[in-house]
Chain A
Amino acid sequence: LLPEKVIPARIERGVVVPFFLTTQDHPWLAILIEEIDRFSGRPRRELWERLRAPLPCAVPFFKGRAATAVLLRLWRAVEEAAVAPPAAREAVFVAAAAAPAGATRAGIFAEAAAALGVGGDAGLEGALFADLPGERIVRAPSVVPPAAEAALRVNLAIARSLLQRASIISIQLEGAARPVVRQAQWRGLLCTLRAAEPPELEVSGPFALFRRTVLYGRALGEMLPFLARTGRYQLRARC
C-alpha cells in the first residue's frame, strides 16, 4: 500500500478528498510507463535517478508519485550476478582480512576467486553487492499494462491506502450484506447493522473504542475488493 506522503488527497474541512486518476491522466501515465519500461535490464538505482527528474510532460505532483510507487512494484528488480553475492562477500572479505600488509586489491580478489573455485576474478567485484536494492536489475512484467489498466491499479491502491489509515468504516449496501459481515468477522472486526434503507454496516475493531488506532487498517483495507461483489455500495471511513 502507499506511504502516507504519497497518497494523492487533500483535507477539506476535516474530510479527506482523494484525487483518483481519470481518463485525463492517461496521457502522462502512458509516458511514465514507457519511461519506466525503458530501464528494463538496467540497475534500479538508474531508474530511481531518472524518476527524480521531471517527465517530458506535465504530471500532477501527488498523482505522479502514487502512480510511480504502484508501477515500480510491477517492474520488479532481480539479482543478476555470476557468483552469489553472499558467497562473493564472504570470500572477498575473509581473503582481505587474511591478506598480509601491502597485499594488492587484485591479489585479494584472485585469492577469493580461488577460494570459491572460479576462474580469474569471475566478476567478483561486480557480484559483491549485486543483491542490494539499487543494484538489482529492472525486469518488465510479462504484459505491460496499458494506461487505463494502470490507472485502475493506482486508484485501488489509493482507496486501500486511505482505508488502512481508518479506524471505523460505514458501508451502505445494496444487495447481500452477509458476505461482507462474514469477511469482517473473519478478520476479528466488529460489525453493527443499522436498520435503514439501504442498510448501513459499521465496521471497526474492539480497541478502536479507546484510541484513534490504525491497528485494524489492514483488515479494513482488505475488505474493499469484497464490496465490489455487492450490487452497489457507498463507503465512508473515519480516521
Chain B
Amino acid sequence: MRLVFDRGTLILREAPPGLDLARLPEARWDPRVSAFRFPACTLEALAGRLRRMGVPFSDEASAGRMGRPAFRTPVGLRPYQRAALAAWEMAGGRGLVVLPTGAGKTRVAFAAIAQARVAALCLVPTRVLVQQWQNVARELTGVDPGIFGDGERAVRPLTIATFESAWRYMDRIGDRFGLLVVDEVHHFGGGVRDESLEMCTAGLRLGLTATPPAPPGSVRLAELVGKTVYELSVADLAGSFLAPFDHLVVHVELEPDERAEYDRLRALFREVFDQFRRFHLGAGWEDFIQEAGRTDEGRRAIAAFHGARKLLAFPRGKRQALARLLATHADARTLVFVADNHTAYGVAREHLVMPLTCDIGRAERERALALFREGKLRALVSAQVLNEGLDVPDAEVGIVVAGRRGEREHVQRIGRVLRPRPGKRALVYELVVRGTSEVREAARRRRAIAA
C-alpha cells in the first residue's frame, strides 16, 4: 500500500482487500480516484496509526521533503526566548508562542527551525513582512531563503510565503516541509485560509502572535497548530527587555455641533440595537448586523453607528490635541495611529507627516522607514500598516488618535514604541473623547495592556 500526497490531500493507493480503512479518522472515500483520501495535515497521525495496525505501507508522502536548511550561524536567544523554545519543544514541537510586539518572535522562529533540523515553511501576512523575514533570515542564519509570493516562486529548505500564496499553492508545495511556522497566527482559526494549514503535511508547527484569539478561533487553532505553550505580556517585559513606558490618556471634548450630531446618531442606533437585544438574548454583534441588514430601519441604524464612529475618529478636539502633541514632541520620533486611511491622509496634509497606508507602494514604504530611522522624517501616521509585524525603527512617542479593532490592535500599536535602548522611556498618548463610547473602549484597552 502506498501513502501518497495528492494536491493538499493524502491518498492510500493499492490498499489490500479486506482492510477497513473507512474506520480511520477523517477518511473519505473518493469515487473520483477510487481510493481513500485524508487531509494532508493528518500525515503523522495516519502513518502512526497504520504502523500500530501493523499494516505495511510505503510513505511516499514524506518522500518529497527537502533537506534541512544549512544555517551558518547559531541563533542567539534571550532567556525568555530560550524558555519559549523549550516550552514548544516540550509540547512535541506544536503550539503557539505569545510574546509582545518587539520581543523577538522571529528570532524564536529561526531558533526553532535550527533546532528542528527539517525544511521549514514560514507563513507571514503581507509581502512587506516576507521581505522583512528574508532580511532577518540572512542576518541571523546566513541562509538565503526561498520566497513564495510577490511574483516569486522559489522553494528552498527555508521558504517564506505570504498567507495568500500559501492558500493558493499549498496543494503543490505542502509535502516539501517538516516544520510550518505561522507568524501573526491569530489571523487563522476561522476562515478559508485555514485550508492552507490543513493542506500541509508538516507535523511540527509553531504559531507566533502577540494577541492569541479567543474561542472559537483558539479551539480551531489548537487543532491546526497547537495550544498556547508560552505567553508573556507587555507588562512582563517592559522595563527589562522592552523599554519602560508611560501611558497617558488625553481627554478631549466634542464641540456643540459635533456633540449634537453624535447624540443624534447614537440615539438612532441605540433605539434599534436595544430593541434587538431585548428580543434576542445572547445574540452577538454579527447576529445584529445580519438582522439589521434586512430592514430599512436596521440599515439606517448601522449607518448611524458607522457615522458616529467616523465622527469620533478625528473631531476638532482631537485635531487640536494632535497638533499640540506633535509640536511638543517635534524633536522625538513619533508614530501616529489613526482609525482609517482617510484620517491618515488628513493628518498628513495638515501636519505634513508621512503616511504609511496600503495605498503607498512597498518601495516607498521602505524608503520612508529608512528616512525615519535616519531621523530625516520625524513622524509617521498610519491606520493599520504599522499595527503588526512590520519592523518599525526605534520611536519614542506613540499617539493613538483612534482605533477600530479593539484591545488586540492597541497592544500591537504600543509595542511599536517599546524597542529598548539605554535610558529610553517611551510615551504613549491615547486621545479619548469624553462622554462617548470611546471612554469604555479606552478602559478595556488599558486593561489589556496591564494583563
**Interface residue ranges, A against B (CB under 8 Å):** 86, 89-90, 92-94, 96-98, 101, 105, 108, 128-129, 131-133, 188, 190-192, 202, 204-207, 209-211, 213-215
Contacts of B26 in A (CB 8 A): 210
A192→B195 contact, CB < 8 A: no
B192 at the interface (CB under 8 A from A): yes
B9→A92 contact, CB < 8 A: no
Contacts of B354 in A (CB 8 A): 89, 93
Contacts of A131 in B (CB 8 A): 359
B18 at the interface (CB under 8 A from A): no
Picked from A86, A192, A207, the residue with its CB within 8 Å of the CB of B199 is A207
Contacts of B378 in A (CB 8 A): 97
Whole-angstrom distance from the CB of B177 to the nearest CB of chain A? 18
Q: Whose C-beta in chain A lies nearest to the C-beta of B345?
A: A129
Binds A, one of B27-35, B394-402, B432-440: B27-35
With A97-B377, A188-B172 given, name 15 new contacts (CB 8 A): A89-B354, A89-B364, A93-B377, A101-B330, A105-B352, A188-B171, A192-B32, A204-B32, A207-B8, A207-B39, A207-B199, A209-B30, A211-B198, A213-B195, A215-B167
Whole-angstrom distance from the CB of B199 to the nearest CB of chain A? 6
Interface size on B, residues (CB 8 A): 40
A92 to B58, CA, bound (A): 65
Contacts of B39 in A (CB 8 A): 207, 210
Chain B 1-37 per-residue mask, 1 if CB under 8 angstroms from chain A, else 0: 0000011110000000000000000101011110001
Contacts of B363 in A (CB 8 A): 86
A128 to B355, CA, bound (A): 11
B49 at the interface (CB under 8 A from A): no
A238 to B32, CA, bound (A): 17
Q: Which 10 pairs show the lowest CB-CB distances between chains A and B?
A: A96-B352, A97-B378, A93-B354, A206-B7, A86-B364, A206-B9, A190-B32, A209-B28, A192-B32, A207-B8
Which one of A129, A188, A207, A214 has the highest number of Cβ atoms from chain B below 10 Å of its Cβ?
A207
Picked from B198, B349, B359, B367, the residue with its CB within 8 Å of the CB of A210 is B198
Contacts of B6 in A (CB 8 A): 206
A108 to B371, CA, bound (A): 18
B9→A209 contact, CB < 8 A: yes
**Interface residue ranges, B against A (CB under 8 Å):** 6-9, 26, 28, 30-33, 37, 39, 167, 171-172, 192, 195, 198-199, 327, 330, 345, 348-349, 351-354, 359-361, 363-364, 367-368, 371, 376-379
Whole-angstrom distance from the CB of A79 to the nearest CB of chain B? 11
Q: Whose C-beta in chain B lies nearest to the C-beta of A94?
A: B376
Evaluate whether A93 and B352 lie within 8 angstroms (CB atoms) in the complex, with A86-B361, A206-B6, A209-B30 already known.
Answer: yes
Q: Whose C-beta in chain B lies nearest to the C-beta of A131?
A: B359
Contacts of A86 in B (CB 8 A): 360-361, 363-364, 367
Whole-angstrom distance from the CB of B357 to the nearest CB of chain A? 9
A6 to B412, CA, bound (A): 34
Contacts of B198 in A (CB 8 A): 207, 210-211
A206→B37 contact, CB < 8 A: yes
Evaluate whether A207 and B195 lie within 8 angstroms (CB atoms) in the complex, with A92-B352, A101-B330 already known.
Answer: yes
Whole-angstrom distance from the CB of B22 to the nearest CB of chain A? 14
Contacts of A108 in B (CB 8 A): 352
Contacts of B364 in A (CB 8 A): 86, 89-90
Which one of B172, B192, B363, B367 has the highest number of Cβ atoms from chain A below 10 Å of its Cβ?
B192
A131 to B360, CA, bound (A): 9
Whole-angstrom distance from the CB of B306 to the nearest CB of chain A? 14
Contacts of B32 in A (CB 8 A): 190-192, 202, 204
Contacts of A209 in B (CB 8 A): 9, 28, 30, 37
Whole-angstrom distance from the CB of B224 to the nearest CB of chain A? 13
Whole-angstrom distance from the CB of A207 to the nearest CB of chain B? 5
Picked from B195, B330, B359, the residue with its CB within 8 Å of the CB of A132 is B359
Evaluate whether A94 and B37 lie within 8 angstroms (CB atoms) in the complex, with A192-B31, A215-B167, A215-B192 already known.
Answer: no
Contacts of B30 in A (CB 8 A): 206, 209
A104 to B359, CA, bound (A): 28
Q: List 17 A-B contacts (CB under 8 A).
A: A86-B361, A90-B371, A101-B327, A101-B330, A108-B352, A188-B172, A191-B32, A205-B7, A207-B9, A207-B198, A209-B28, A210-B28, A210-B37, A210-B39, A211-B195, A211-B198, A213-B195
Which one of B352, B363, B376 has the highest number of Cβ atoms from chain A below 10 Å of its Cβ?
B352
A57 to B378, CA, bound (A): 52
Q: Whose C-beta in chain A lies nearest to the C-beta of B351?
A: A96
Evaluate whether A93 and B353 lie within 8 angstroms (CB atoms) in the complex, with A132-B345, A190-B33 already known.
Answer: yes
A38 to B369, CA, bound (A): 41
